[in-house]
Structure formats: C-alpha cells, structure tokens
Amino acid sequence: MFAMILLTGATGYIGSHTWVELLNAGHEVIGIDNLCNSSEKLLARVESITNIKPNFIRGDIRNIDVLRKIFQSHNIDCVVHFAALKAVGESVEKPLEYYDNNINGLLQLLRTCNEFSCENFVFSSSATVYHTENNPPYFENMALGPVNPYGWTKMMSEQILRNFEVASLSTRVAYLRYFNPVGAHASGLIGENPLGAPNNLMPYIAQVAVGRRELLSIYGGDWPTVDGTGVRDYIHVVDLAKGHMAAIDYLTQQKKSLTVNLGTGVGTSVLQLVHAFEIASKKKIPYEIVSRRVGDIAVSYANTDLAKKLMGWSAHMGVDQMCQDVWRWQSNNPSGY
Ligand code: NAD
Ligand code: UD1
C-alpha cells in the first residue's frame, strides 16, 4: 500500500469514481482539480459514500508551486493523472489550449515527481491513440495514429512518459488506454455530469430519457455493422476505477511499467445501447438517424487479454448494468450536481 496517492482531475467523472474505490480500499488520497469541468459539490457525495472526508486542493496542475506545496507536505509516492481537457471537437477549435493544458500539465507533474522522487505514475490514455486503419479488436502493440489534437495530446503524453522513464530509471508508468467509459456509482450519488450539451452518446441518451433534451441524433445508419450504427466498447466506470487499483498494485509489486487496454472486449451498437437504456429507464428514447459525424469510425473495441494476464483485472459489468446505474444517477440528479 502507498503512503499517499495524488489524484489529478479528482473531481471529474473518472477521477471521482476512482477516488471512491481507493478510499474504500483504505488508500490515503489527496485530490487536486481546478474545477474547469467539475464541481466541488462532488466532495460531499464522496464523503457520504465512503464516510471519509476527502482531502482536496483546488488548483491547476500547470502551477508547479501548487504541486510542490502538495509534495512538500505529503509523502506522495504515486500519481494517478486524470486532469486533462477531453472534448474532441473543442480540441480541433482550440488546439493550443489542449496542448497547453494536457502537455504542459503533464510536464509540471513530472518535474515535481522528479524533484520529490515519486516513482509511480498512472496515466489516463485513450483508445483514440490507435490508428483508425487497424482492424478491431485493438491490441496494445498495434500502430498508433491519432486524428485530432486531443488524441495527439494523449499520444504525445505517452511518448513524453516513455522518454522520462528512460531518463529517470526508477520511474514506473501504467499507460491505461480507456475505451468508452459510461455508468455511474451504484449509490446514484455520483456520475457523469457534462457541462453543456453532451458530446458523447451515453450522457446524451440519459438527458433525453430524463426530459432535458428532445431527440437523440444518431450519427449514421449505414455503417458496416450489425444494424448500421456505430459500435463501441462501453466499460462501466466502476470497473474502470478498479482497473486503476489493479494497475497501482502492479506497479508496486512488479516494479515495472505496463501498457494495457481497459475495455470489456464487447462491442455494442448505438441502437443496442438505446434499447438497453429504454429497458433500464422504462422510457422511450426518440431518435433520428442523421449523417455521420466527421472523424467517426464504424467499430472500436478492445482486446483485453493483456490486462487480464498482467494485472489479473477484467471488467465484470455489462451494458444493462451500465444503463441501470446511469439511469439511477440521472433520474436522482436530473440537472447534475
Ligand atoms: P473530466 O473532464 O470529467 O475530468 C477531468 C478533470 O480534470 C476535470 O474535473 C477538470 O476540471 C480537471 N482538469 C482539467 N485540466 C486541469 C488542470 N490543468 N488542472 C487541474 N485540473 C484540471 O474527464 P474524465 O472523463 O473524468 O476523464 C479523465 C481522464 O481520462 C482524462 O485525462 C481523459 O482524457 C481520459 N479519458 C477519458 C475518456 C472518457 O470518455 N471519459 C476516455 C479516454 C480517456
Ligand atoms: C469519443 C471521442 C474519443 C474518445 C471516446 C472515449 C469523439 C469524436 N471521440 O469517441 O476521442 O476516446 O469518446 O470515450 O468525441 N453517437 C451518436 N449520437 C450522439 C453521440 C454519439 O450517434 O449524440 C454515436 C457515435 O457516432 C459513435 C457512438 O455513438 O458511433 C459513440 O460515440 P461517443 O460516445 O462520442 O464515443 P466515441 O465516438 O467512441
């Protein structure tokens, strides 16, 4: 067990679910977030789930003085790094903001880790780093080739970390490539809370079901898939959070780096997800099929053998459970936090 884990982006969607799992497992955690895409109200929710008051600093990871203060006053020996901007369309419009936040933020964190000899680093990467010409399922050793600035920040971050590992010798990194995280904590107290119109499918469906939006637009009905709609590997965010704990265990026990997909290995189409959500919510989800979204691909899903082999981790929850948990969260919190 670590002395203390620093979670960046701690009040965000995946960060908050991971925080809960880490506290429940007895880890000491300090969270940092600048709240650019999350709310401090989350803290009370984490406390009511875990009965532990979360240790939180509001701050920007690009500010090295803030990071130094944290490392000076806490014995941090593992960083779990979620803080990043993540909207693909926005990254095309504002590439400099994305490179500044995602790359500069990582550099400041690594400088601080170096100064304070923190040797364990868990990085939020994404399936978006894989080259779209690969045929799914995606294996970790397949060619990389992102197609938008957000994806490039993830691939560049992986590269920076790999170079840093060579230079610092004792640093170990878990490169975790997430597929499509969805779902919410079973308590219904925390979940995904997008600000503005959701870019991603599951939160959009949930907001239609709860009456915040009228109609789901399905981007393309003529993809070469089971029903013509796009296929993705949806993974429950609590399974994903547990994947981080498995990665932390691996870093401590094996004292080696690893690169693994975190997905289920199962592909689900847009229409299949809509129908599963209709069953979970007992609501009709009105939709229309519109033209394809620029940059989309037909099918994406993971090969998950390596995560199982190296970390003994695999996802357990299926799409029905994901929809039930999202619906509990969304119907209990129709306007978010
Ligand atoms: P999120 O936006 O909910 O959480 C990210 C958090 O980081 C937010 O709370 C935001 O306020 C904070 N943040 C951003 N920049 C910061 C900075 N400079 N300093 C301090 N805090 C900052 O996103 P999420 O879905 O929880 O994603 C977490 C990580 O996982 C991100 O790195 C994201 O790129 C990656 N990821 C997400 C998905 C997904 O579909 N959600 C898929 C693959 C990878
Ligand atoms: C998105 C990101 C990707 C990220 C991934 C993981 C984009 C363009 N890509 O991809 O970088 O790694 O999430 O979370 O945002 N869909 C609709 N209607 C909608 C929304 C989506 O039909 O309103 C369809 C899409 O065309 C796709 C599927 O639903 O077939 C899933 O979309 P989404 O949730 O945005 O995820 P990804 O496209 O996989």
Q: How far apart are CA 41 and CA 315, in angstroms?
A: 29
Domain that holds residue 258: 4-182+234-263+302-315
Is the minimum distance from the CB of 254 to ligand 2 under 6 angstroms? no
For residues 173 and 158, the answer to whether their CB atoms sit within 8 Å is no
Specify the pairing of strand 120-126 against strand 172-178: parallel
Q: What is the pLDDT of residue 3?
A: 74
Which of 200, 237, 293, 300 to mutate to test ligand 2, by most ligand atoms within 8 A of the CB atom?
A: 200
Q: What is the pLDDT of residue 2?
A: 65
Q: What is the pLDDT along the chain (337 residues), one digit of tens a residue?
A: 567 999 999 999 999 999 999 999 999 999 999 999 999 999 999 999 999 999 999 999 999 999 999 999 999 999 999 999 999 999 999 999 999 999 999 999 999 999 999 999 999 999 999 999 999 999 999 999 999 999 999 999 999 999 999 999 899 999 999 999 999 999 999 999 998 899 999 999 999 999 999 999 999 999 999 999 999 999 999 999 999 999 999 999 999 999 999 999 999 999 999 999 999 999 999 999 999 999 899 999 999 999 999 999 999 999 999 999 999 999 999 999 8
Q: How far apart are CA 87 and CA 22, in angstroms?
A: 26
Residue 85 lies in a domain: yes
Catalytic choice (13, 98, 130, 150): 150
> CB-based burial of residue 4 (10 Å sphere; 0-12 exposed, 13-18 middle, 19+ buried)?
middle
Residue 224 lies in a domain: no
Is the minimum distance from the CB of 227 to ligand 2 under 6 angstroms? no
Residue 283 lies in a domain: no
Residue 271 lies in a domain: no
Residue 220 lies in a domain: no
For residues 220 and 229, the answer to whether their CB atoms sit within 8 Å is yes
98 in catalytic set? no
Residue 213 lies in a domain: no
Can you tell me which atom of ligand 2 is nearest the CA of 292? 26
Residue 280 lies in a domain: no
Can you tell me which atom of ligand 1 is nearest the CA of 180? 40
Residue 212 lies in a domain: no
Q: How many domains does the chain have?
A: 1
The CATH number of whichever domain residue 155 belongs to comes to 3.40.50.720
